[in-house]
Amino acid sequence: MDLKYFKLESSGNNFILLDFINTEINQFDKISNFIFKEKAVKSSDGLLVINNSQSCDFDLNFYNPDSSPSFCGNGSVCAVKYMTRIDLKKEYHFLSNGLHCVAQVNKSNIAIKIPKINKYREFINGFLINTGTLHYVEFSKSLNDSFFNKRVLELTSSKEFLKAPFNINIVKKENDHIQVRTFEKGVNRETLSCGSGSIASILAVFLAFEKKYSLVKAGGGNLNVDFHFNNKFFEKIRLISKPTIINSGNLSIEV
């Protein structure tokens, strides 16, 4: 069988999207093993599966290329971009791997608002923050390949990572922005950007240096993050991007 897909990207993070809104929800479960073997999915940064919802505008399930489920900020932005083709609205409510999100659409910009964050763990040179998925954010004065690759290897070989894998964000502060390089669990390599990682990085920098940044520069492009801190928790957290639909095609599934 041929299964139509769409390829989308947000700041260099690219995804394969499957639309199951008008089909049986369990159809994906029946053919998922075949889908994750497809080259288009394996070479992407993740799989977006959209389903109909009785309580929201849609349900979104995100899967890493290794088939592990997770929350994905850039993936959520891309899913909303796709939904604007079907039913253009200024605001969408949706569940993304169980996390209730609100999206605001303004011309080419899409902003994803996630629930408040009041738990994080501080380390000597960074923070562990759950922004829908777990991120370890570490600060550095250098983001060159040799340092980044060495540090990722050290962290992914640690007992903590092997026990409970987390995404890794290495962050460098600049005058008016932060630069971020990201290793993503489930993708098992560096990605050109990461939405939830950008949120975690902005919040970690604020906690460590009491400076509020918005602009995040990554290898694939720029993202913006808004938030409010009320001395107890982070709220009104928004990830802002300009996602695009790259192309579409068909997955040839043998069942």
pLDDT at 247: 96
Same domain, 140 and 229: yes
Taking a C-beta distance cutoff of 8 angstroms, is the pair 65, 47 a contact? yes
pLDDT in tens, 52-79: 998 999 999 999 999 999 999 999 999 9
Same domain, 94 and 126: no
* CB neighbour list of residue 104: distance below 8 Å, 6 or more residues apart: 90, 91, 110, 111, 113, 238
Same domain, 79 and 164: no
Please count the structural domains in the chain: 2
Q: How far is CA 43 from the centre of its chain?
A: 16
pLDDT in tens, 38-54: 999 999 999 999 999 98
* Cβ neighbour number for residue 11 with a 10 Å cutoff: 23
Same domain, 93 and 109: yes
In angstroms, rounded to a whole number, what is the distance separating the alpha carbons of residues 122 and 117?
A: 14
Cα–Cα nearest to 223, from 63, 109, 58: 109
- Tokens (6 digits) for 77: 């932005």
Paired with 127 in beta bridges are 122, 137
Same domain, 33 and 44: yes
> Which residue stretches of 91-225 are H helix?
145-156, 159-163, 195-209
In angstroms, rounded to a whole number, what is the distance separating the alpha carbons of residues 244 and 246?
A: 6
Q: Is the pLDDT of residue 1 over 80?
A: no
Percent of the chain surpassing pLDDT 70: 98
- 44: domain CATH number is 3.10.310.10
Same domain, 126 and 234: yes
Same domain, 41 and 145: no
Same domain, 94 and 148: no
DSSP β-ladder status, 69-70 and 58-63: antiparallel
pLDDT in tens, 83-117: 999 999 999 999 998 899 999 999 889 999 999 99
Taking a C-beta distance cutoff of 8 angstroms, is the pair 222, 91 a contact? no
Percent of the chain surpassing pLDDT 90: 87
Same domain, 80 and 23: yes
Same domain, 207 and 220: yes
3-state secondary structure (DSSP) of residue 230? coil
> Which residue stretches of 142-194 are H helix?
145-156, 159-163
Q: Which domain range does residue 199 map to?
A: 120-240
**Mean pLDDT score across all residues of the chain:** 94
Same domain, 98 and 149: no
Mean pLDDT across 232-255: 92
What is the sign of the dihedral through the CA atoms of 22, 27, 32 and 37? negative
pLDDT at 24: 65
3-state secondary structure (DSSP) of residue 172? strand
Q: Which residue has the higher pLDDT, 29 or 182?
A: 182
pLDDT at 236: 97
Same domain, 84 and 174: no
**Whole-model pTM?**
0.96
pLDDT at 9: 98
Residue 23: pLDDT band with limits 50, 70, 90: confident
